[in-house]
């Protein structure tokens, strides 16, 4: 039984495509749970008209994405949860494909579908990438879907044939995208769900890293395609959430030895972001993000102790999933700097050696 959880906030327009495409694939016994964060555009009415059998949870306030996902998961009865963005339209065959890893017993702790954009012509994410400083991005974002060879950047790849051509996906991505994230309900509950305080962004990174700490592996199902109405630039507030939640995730999830070894790089990153944030007009948000982290720190440290107590893998094994590469197109000139890439790669090789991991892992 599959439980699909969709969180909405003023998404009446996009649901007109997503819900019909989804509802036509659900089987008897599956459930659709829509958690509405106090929309003011008639979203709830549209959900009830388009999918009368859906369970609708009205929160009465905007809880943000992760807390609302947790609310939906608490109400779910299915063995498998799938969190689906309201603007992620499932392609034909999506439902059976997203359930296949569970049905086939592949052993993944969580997985995602292949998320495309621009009516299936571009990759939105084929599996998430996490830099060792905690900066995370969608793998292969913006790349054209093309029929042969794949386009990986050196990470281990599985090349999988689908109706859209031969798509190259990571065999074990650093994180799985919340745009289409599947996870057994018991696994989600045991991990503690999403960090509800994050409000937006990085909650999928945090959950994925916590699963890794528990020895879990992650996966991508390229046959489970959803087309996402994606836009990266969503205003200065996005930088507040990204920076605040990045630091919260570092504090919560990184093993102590790893955190100590990357601390100099974290300080350097903060200094480098100052002129970038000033030019970009989000310096004030960056400052506020750090103040929020300081305010959260007592709670984050309590959560850290609990999370680290459940850890079953060493710091080296955990670190091997991270990268020193700068493959995101959103990193601008920094990502194109050969000197910076070389320095980061050398630094990361040293860290991995000190942690007892393979020197070329995560590079």
CB 221 within 8 A of CB 102: no
CB 207 within 8 A of CB 109: no
- pLDDT of 167 reads 54
CATH of domain 2-228: 3.90.550.10
Would the pLDDT of 21 be above 70?
yes
| Average pLDDT value for residue range 287-315 | 97
Would the pLDDT of 156 be above 70?
no
| Average pLDDT value for residue range 332-353 | 84
Alpha helices in the chain (DSSP H): 12-23, 43-50, 65-75, 94-103, 185-191, 203-213, 236-253, 256-280, 283-309, 315-319, 332-336, 338-355
Would the pLDDT of 160 be above 70?
no
Q: Which residue has the higher pLDDT, 275 or 222?
A: 222
Task: Report pLDDT digits (tens) over 256-286.
Answer: 999 999 999 999 888 887 887 788 788 888 8
Q: Which residue has the higher pLDDT, 270 or 113?
A: 113
Would the pLDDT of 208 be above 50?
yes
Would the pLDDT of 317 be above 90?
yes
Q: Which residue has the higher pLDDT, 232 or 200?
A: 200
- pLDDT of 188 reads 98
> pLDDT band for position 15 (50/70/90)?
very high
> pLDDT band for position 150 (50/70/90)?
very low
Burial 134-172 (b: 16+ CB within 10 A, else e): bbbbbbbbebebeeeebebeebebeeeebebeebbbbeb
> pLDDT band for position 209 (50/70/90)?
very high
Residue whose tokens read 């906030």:
9
Phi, psi of 323 (to 5 degrees): -135, 155
> pLDDT band for position 329 (50/70/90)?
confident
Angle at 282 between CA 278 and CA 285, to 5 degrees: 125
Would the pLDDT of 164 be above 70?
no
Would the pLDDT of 320 be above 70?
yes
Q: Which residue has the higher pLDDT, 340 or 72?
A: 72
Extents of the domains making up the chain: 2-228, 236-355
In the 3-class helix/strand/coil scheme, how is 254-307 assigned residue by residue? CCHHHHHHHHHHHHHHHHHHHHHHHHHCCHHHHHHHHHHHHHHHHHHHHHHHHH
Residue 18: other Cβ atoms inside 10 A: 24
- pLDDT of 338 reads 78
CB 362 within 8 A of CB 322: yes
């Amino acid at each position: 039984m599959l439980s699909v959880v969709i969180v909405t906030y003023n998404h009446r327009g996009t649901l007109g495509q997503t819900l019909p495409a989804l509802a036509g694939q659900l089987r008897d016994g599956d459930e659709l749970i829509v958690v509405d964060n106090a929309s003011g555009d008639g979203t709830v009415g549209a959900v009830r008209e388009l999918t009368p059998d859906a369970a609708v949870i009205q929160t009465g306030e905007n809880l943000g994405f992760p807390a609302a996902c947790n609310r939906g998961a608490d109400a779910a009865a299915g063995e498998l949860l799938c969190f689906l963005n309201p603007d992620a339209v499932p392609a034909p065959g999506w439902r059976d494909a997203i359930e296949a890893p569970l049905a086939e017993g592949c052993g993944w702790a969580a997985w995602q579908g292949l998320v495309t954009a621009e009516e299936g012509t571009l990759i939105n994410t084929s599996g998430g990438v996490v830099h060792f400083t905690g900066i995370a991005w969608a793998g292969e974002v913006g790349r054209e879907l093309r029929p042969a060879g794949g386009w990986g950047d050196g990470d281990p790849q599985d090349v999988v044939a689908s109706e859209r051509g031969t798509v190259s996906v990571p065999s074990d991505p650093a994180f799985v995208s919340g745009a289409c994230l599947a996870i057994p309900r018991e696994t989600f509950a045991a991990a503690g769900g999403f960090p509800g305080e994050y409000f937006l962004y990085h909650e999928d990174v945090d959950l994925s890293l916590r699963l890794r700490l528990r020895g879990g592996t992650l996966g991508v199902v390229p046959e489970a395609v959803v087309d996402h109405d994606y836009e990266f630039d969503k205003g200065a507030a996005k930088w507040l959430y990204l920076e605040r939640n990045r630091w919260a995730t570092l504090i919560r999830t990184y093993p102590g030895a790893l955190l100590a070894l990357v601390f100099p790089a974290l300080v350097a990153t903060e200094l480098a972001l100052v002129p970038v944030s000033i030019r970009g007009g989000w310096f004030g948000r960056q400052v506020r993000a750090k103040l929020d982290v300081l305010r959260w720190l007592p709670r984050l440290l309590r959560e850290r102790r609990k999370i680290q107590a459940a850890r079953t893998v060493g710091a080296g094994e955990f670190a091997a999933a991270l990268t020193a590469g700068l493959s995101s197109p959103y990193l601008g000139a920094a990502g194109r700097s050969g000197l910076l890439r070389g320095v980061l790669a050398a630094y990361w090789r040293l860290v991995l050696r000190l942690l007892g991991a393979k020197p070329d892992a995560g590079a």
